[in-house]
Amino acid sequence: MGDVVMAIIPLRQTVIISPYLGNDPDYNEPIYGDDYEAKCRFSEGVKLVRNGRGEEVASVGSFLFDKLPRIDVADRLTYTDENMRTITYTPISISVKRWLGGKPALTEVHV
């Protein structure tokens, strides 16, 4: 019987991730790949964070993911809450929390 590996915190929510592929050469609109679903924990709350350019901006929430999923700041994250309200977010910053040995434990994505 195989071992069941669980995240260090319960991840009972899901988010739809649309990976950014690039911009349309004719219209300069973003192009996204196939959507996929990922387990997460979403916490709402305003917090000041630094974006990729080092500027301080307001985050309205954060997603926690197990280990190190492939998420980029140009991707779109679409989340539906318990009241069936659907909101699409763009990441502001992505940080990886690591175990003492250096392996990824959690990835936090501020939106």
Give the dihedral of Cα atoms 51, 55, 60, 63; nearest 10 deg. Answer: 20
pTM of full prediction above 0.85:
yes
Residue 8: predicted pLDDT: 81
Q: What is the tens place of the pLDDT at every residue in 51-83? A: 989 999 999 999 999 999 999 999 999 999 999
Task: Give me 77's structure tokens.
Answer: 């994250």
Q: For residues 104 and 89, give the distance between their C-alpha atoms in angstroms, rounded to a whole number.
A: 23
Q: Can you say whether residue 52 is alpha, beta or left, with left for phi > 0 and alpha for psi between -120 and 50 degrees?
A: alpha
Task: Give me 86's structure tokens.
Answer: 């659907």
Q: What is the tens place of the pLDDT at every residue in 6-44? A: 678 889 999 999 999 999 999 999 999 999 999 999 999
Task: Give me 41's structure tokens.
Answer: 């924990």
Alpha helices, DSSP H, located in 23-97: none
